[in-house]
């Protein structure tokens, strides 16, 4: 009796775990070490990150509405579609779909966080360059501008466990799908011989 591993099933489990990763924290934004915002993958998709630390009690009327992350939405959709296609198709087609959608979703997940990081920096830089320094007896206009830029550079976006779980699970799903394709090819070539 031989025991065979169904890599396609493992790829499906990896894809399912990756989708669950969207429910966990994806990012934390901090300024000078003080946490100011947290968001799960779902909160990034809906544009509803949660204020944290000293900003936590801020009233809804004072908050700026965040925009939904289209890239995160597409990453989730690609992962979900890949899982559904793999469940509805034969093993080789399922493995190919899992491989393609896993790699694409992993790339989109990575790009969504990098895009968020760049957008925040660009927005803060634009805000500081457009603001006219106030009359201040202690600091010159140039010094105020430099302090604003230093504040903008102290903003950090840190990836959290949900993001890493999603990314690693998608890469594992791609690996298992690739193994499925290779084992199927080996099986067909051995039966032909």
Residue 119 belongs to some domain of the structure: yes
- Is residue 138 within 8 Å of residue 70, measured between CB atoms? no
Alpha helices in the chain (DSSP H): 7-21, 41-46, 70-88, 91-130, 141-153, 161-192
Indicate the number of domains in the chain: 1
In whole angstroms, what is the distance from residue 128 CA to residue 143 CA? 12
Residue 58's domain comprises: 7-130+142-185
- Tell which wins on pLDDT, 47 or 193: 47
Residue 54 belongs to some domain of the structure: yes
CATH of the domain at 117: 1.20.140
Token representation of residue 122:
């660009």
- Is residue 30 within 8 Å of residue 36, measured between CB atoms? yes
- Look up the pTM and report it: 0.77
Residue 59, pLDDT score: 47
Residue 1 belongs to some domain of the structure: no
**Per-residue confidence band for 62, with pLDDT thresholds at 50, 70 and 90:** very low
For residue 192, pLDDT over 60 is answered with no
Residue 137 belongs to some domain of the structure: no
Residue 94, pLDDT score: 87
In this prediction, residues 1-9 reach a mean pLDDT of 73
124-175, pLDDT tens digit by residue?
767 655 555 566 666 666 666 666 666 666 778 889 999 999 999 999 999 9
In this prediction, residues 1-15 reach a mean pLDDT of 80
Residue 152 belongs to some domain of the structure: yes
Residue 135 belongs to some domain of the structure: no
Query: Is 135 exposed, middle or buried (CB count within 10 Å of its CB: 0-12, 13-18, 19+)?
Result: exposed
In this prediction, residues 80-84 reach a mean pLDDT of 93
Residue 75 belongs to some domain of the structure: yes
Residue 17, pLDDT score: 95
Residue 62 belongs to some domain of the structure: yes
In this prediction, residues 65-86 reach a mean pLDDT of 91
Residue 151, pLDDT score: 63
**Per-residue confidence band for 61, with pLDDT thresholds at 50, 70 and 90:** very low
For residue 67, pLDDT over 70 is answered with yes
- Tell which wins on pLDDT, 3 or 182: 182
Listed range (109-118, 135-144, 178-187) with the worst mean pLDDT: 135-144
């Amino acid at each position: 009796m031989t025991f065979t591993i169904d890599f396609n099933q493992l790829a499906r489990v990896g894809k399912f775990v990756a989708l669950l990763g969207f429910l966990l924290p994806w990012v934390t934004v901090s300024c000078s070490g003080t946490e100011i915002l947290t968001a799960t993958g779902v909160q990034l998709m809906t544009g509803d990150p949660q204020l944290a630390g000293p900003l936590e009690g801020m009233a809804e009327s004072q908050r700026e509405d965040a925009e939904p992350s289209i890239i995160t939405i597409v990453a989730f959709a690609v992962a979900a579609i890949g899982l559904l296609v793999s469940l509805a198709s034969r093993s080789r087609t399922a493995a190919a779909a899992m491989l393609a959608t896993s790699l694409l979703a992993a790339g989109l997940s990575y790009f969504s966080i990098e895009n968020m990081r760049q957008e925040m920096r660009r927005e803060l830089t634009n805000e500081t360059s457009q603001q006219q320094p106030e009359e201040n007896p202690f600091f010159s206009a140039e010094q105020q501008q430099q302090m604003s830029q230093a504040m903008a550079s102290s903003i950090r976006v840190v990836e959290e466990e949900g993001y890493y779980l999603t990314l690693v699970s998608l890469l594992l799903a791609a690996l298992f799908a690739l193994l499925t394709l290779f084992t199927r090819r080996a099986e067909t070539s051995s039966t032909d011989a």
